[in-house]
């Protein structure tokens, strides 16, 4: 019986571990009674709605891999967006258009493994939802089932995009809309240009946001629009707006992980880093400095030193190894092995003497 008890306990622990690693775990308010979520549990749409109703700003960061997702988790960010901007930031393209669904799914899975707390949202990449509502729903399903996301984001407010958003919501998948500057539409927009700068364009931004709300979106991203336009859209909607280059009057804000950390100093990234982005750190400078120091220490032979050469053979094994090498006719290799065994001891003696 004790064995069976231990087996049952181990099985329960394994199940709990599995649940923690699943993205789409809802609040259990039906089968177990209402349970308040702890900070370690996944952020839900209900929690975001509560923040919105209280007027508490929502934080979103765009990230593309496991390490950045872990950082977002630690910082307590509300939403992690796996954006198609990975095409530019990670893959080095000049636009978001080239990235494929399969590439996006790799990024989604990596983020899902690292971020256990934020609501996870995956972008539908260009060319994967425009043809029909069936294509849009199929792509959204893959983002959740294969990518481990909780929701999807799609760009634009044309009638076909509104129809696609509605179909995806009706399929049981949460959707964030995206209006203003929509990078997937640069062919029509004539490049990365702010929107809403004249009356007609400003009204279109607000009307499009309202249409996406009507389609069932739980939030709308407002990108690169003047602050009055963002304020008007936020006031007109009954769902949260997430601003990026849209001023302070939105329900929340989003920035790209690499941009806000100041990670990228290469000329390519200089031209794709937006004007509205505040660099909260200059991590790229620190990375460059560290790489230069690494190169210098490898070049001058100071790395790796004794403290970074931790694996030792005892003298008896070194001697036996040397003899085996000599037996194989590898006298130079035997000498090299003997010298390498003595060198760390010399270095330790030097370091001890200097102290």
What is the C-alpha to C-alpha distance for residues 172 and 140, in angstroms, rounded to an integer?
A: 10
What is the C-alpha to C-alpha distance for residues 24 and 70, in angstroms, rounded to an integer?
A: 18
Radius of gyration of the chain (CA): 27
Cis peptide before 267 (omega within 30 of 0): no
What is the C-alpha to C-alpha distance for residues 22 and 10, in angstroms, rounded to an integer?
A: 19
* Cβ atoms 47, 10 nearer than 8 A: no
Task: Look at residue 260 and give its three-state secondary structure.
Answer: helix
Select which of 103, 223, 296, 345 is catalytic.
223
Is residue 223 among the annotated active site residues? Answer: yes
Around Cβ 233, how many Cβ atoms within 10 Å? Answer: 28
Tokens 């209006």 -> residue: 179
Say which residues have a Cβ less than 8 Å from residue 105's Cβ, sequence separation at least 6. Answer: 142, 143, 146, 147
* Cβ atoms 100, 79 nearer than 8 A: no
DSSP 310-335: -----HHHHHHHHHHHHHTT-HHHHH
* Cβ atoms 205, 225 nearer than 8 A: yes
Tally of CA atoms within 13 A in the half-sphere of 249 that contains its CB:
13
Six token digits for residue 138: 């199929």
List residues with catalytic annotation.
223
């Amino acid at each position: 019986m004790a064995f069976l008890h231990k087996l049952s306990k181990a099985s329960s622990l394994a199940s709990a571990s599995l649940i923690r690693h699943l993205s789409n775990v809802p609040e259990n308010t039906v089968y177990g009674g209402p349970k308040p979520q702890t900070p370690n549990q996944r952020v839900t749409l209900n929690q975001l709605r509560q923040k919105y109703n209280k007027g508490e700003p929502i934080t979103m960061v765009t990230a593309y891999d496991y390490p950045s997702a872990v950082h977002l988790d630690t910082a307590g960010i509300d939403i992690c967006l796996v954006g198609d901007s990975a095409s530019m930031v990670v893959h080095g393209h000049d636009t978001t258009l080239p990235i494929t669904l399969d590439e996006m799914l790799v990024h989604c899975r990596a983020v899902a493994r690292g971020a256990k707390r934020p609501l996870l949202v995956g972008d539908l990449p260009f060319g994967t939802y425009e043809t029909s509502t069936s294509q849009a729903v199929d792509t959204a399903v893959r983002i959740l089932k294969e990518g481990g996301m909780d929701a999807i984001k799609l760009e634009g407010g044309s009638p076909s995009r509104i129809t696609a958003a509605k179909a995806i919501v009706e399929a049981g998948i949460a959707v964030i809309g995206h209006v203003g500057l929509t990078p997937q539409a640069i062919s029509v927009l004539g490049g990365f240009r702010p929107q809403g700068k004249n009356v007609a364009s400003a009204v279109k931004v607000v009307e499009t946001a309202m249409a996406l709300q009507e389609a069932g979106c739980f939030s709308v991203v407002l990108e690169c629009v003047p602050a009055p336009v963002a304020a008007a859209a936020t006031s007109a909607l009954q769902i949260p707006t997430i601003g990026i280059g849209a001023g302070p009057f939105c329900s929340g804000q989003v920035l790209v992980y690499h941009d806000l950390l100041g990670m990228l100093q290469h000329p390519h990234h200089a031209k794709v880093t937006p004007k509205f982005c505040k660099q909260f750190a200059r991590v790229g400078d620190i990375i460059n400095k560290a790489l230069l120091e690494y190169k210098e220490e490898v070049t001058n032979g100071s790395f790796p030193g004794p403290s970074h050469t931790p694996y030792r053979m005892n003298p008896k094994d070194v001697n036996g190894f040397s003899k085996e090498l000599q037996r194989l006719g590898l006298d130079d290799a035997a000498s090299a092995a003997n010298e390498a065994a003595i060198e760390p001891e010399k270095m330790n003696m030097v370091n001890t003497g200097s102290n």
